Amino acid sequence: MATDYDAPRKTEEEQSEDSIEELKARRHEKNSGKVDEDEVEAAESFELPGADLSHEELAVQVVPKQLDEFTCSSCFLVHHRSQLAEEKKNGQLICRDCAY
């Protein structure tokens, strides 16, 4: 909590009175004891890891490797030629991420 150092100081007695008054005010609030219903509904819609997704279909368009791309021999990811760090003597291509 932020502290206002320019504010007048209160004694411990005044601070305890303030907190008691705040507690009394909170007790009479209508929503103080209720659970937020939106959070409960949102939690029910989450899928847990290991859920059965066999009935789901995945639609992804697979594009073959282009002429300006290479496959890194270390991480096996396809990168653009601008990411090429080095080519070893045996023809293996290494990306910038794996070279460092």
Residues 19-72: pLDDT tens digits?
Answer: 777 777 777 665 555 555 677 777 777 777 777 878 888 888 989 999 999 999
CA distance 50 to 30: 40
- How do residues 1-23 score in pLDDT, each as one tens digit? 677 778 777 777 766 666 777 77
Phi/psi of residue 30, each to 5°? -70, -40
CA distance 86 to 26: 66
Residue-level pLDDT at 29: 67
Plot region of 50 (φ>0 → left; ψ -120 to 50 → alpha; else → beta): left
Q: Are 75 and 98 in contact (CB under 8 A)?
A: yes
CA distance 9 to 86: 67
Residue labelled with tokens 């929503």: 31
